[in-house]
Amino acid sequence: MNIQPHNLTLRAHWLRKPFLTTAYRNWLIDKTSLTARLQARYADFRVQPLFQQNAKPIKDEASLLKLKLSQTSYVREVLLLGKERPVVYAHSLLPYASLRGEWTKLGRLGHHPLGATLFSNPRVKRTSLAYKKLSRNHDLYHKVIHHLDHRPPYLWARRSIFSLKGAQILVTEVFLPDIQHE
């Protein structure tokens, strides 16, 4: 019997389709504005900024946007709240070149949802969604769990790149346990 060594790089890959995601599937695969969907579901929807400053990208983000790991970009991390509970953790990476032109104000969104800005412009293009079951060995998992009452064994996330005239923004949305209890 030939046993193949475990390939750790496979864990870094994001999937084209989510699997075994019964509780989160409809949220994960919906290609419309997550902001609009949450606003329709929660009368008290709001954005709680957590981190909005220059930072280095996570390794898989850097390779996706063709950035150097040492290259800083503008990083925005927020919680999307409904019924005063965190339902989504959003992590956006905006290379400095993307903060020019029509997207100059994206670095100053504060409590305003990024999705509302992106989906309001019909010229903004979006790549296909990619999916990942974030386990305890992923950087984003560790950023998210500090905002939860308990530590689930994994969290489902999706990400895509929005582009406008060559400028790109990587948006990752992590779906939190409270979103499925509604």
What digits encode the pLDDT tens for the residues 71-116? 889 999 999 999 999 999 999 999 988 888 888 888 889 899 999 9
Is residue 1 a part of any domain in this protein?
no
* Total count of domains within the chain: 1
Is residue 165 a part of any domain in this protein?
yes
Is residue 34 a part of any domain in this protein?
yes
Is residue 169 a part of any domain in this protein?
yes
Instruction: Write the CATH number for 53.
Output: 3.40.1410.10
Provide the token pair at 16.
């084209």
The helix or strand, by DSSP H or E, that contains position 55, with its residue range, turns out to be strand 46-55
Q: How would DSSP label each residue in 168-182?
A: EEEEEEEE-GGGGG-
- Taking the alpha carbons at both ends of the chain, their separation in whole angstroms is 49
Which residues constitute the domain of residue 44?
A: 11-181
Locate tokens 């994994």: which residue? Answer: 154
- Work out the average pLDDT over 125-146: 93
What digits encode the pLDDT tens for the residues 21-72? 677 888 999 999 999 999 999 999 999 999 999 999 988 898 888 888 888 8
pLDDT greater than 60 at residue 2: no
Q: Yes or no: say if 142 and 108 are a contact pair by the CB < 8 Å rule.
A: no
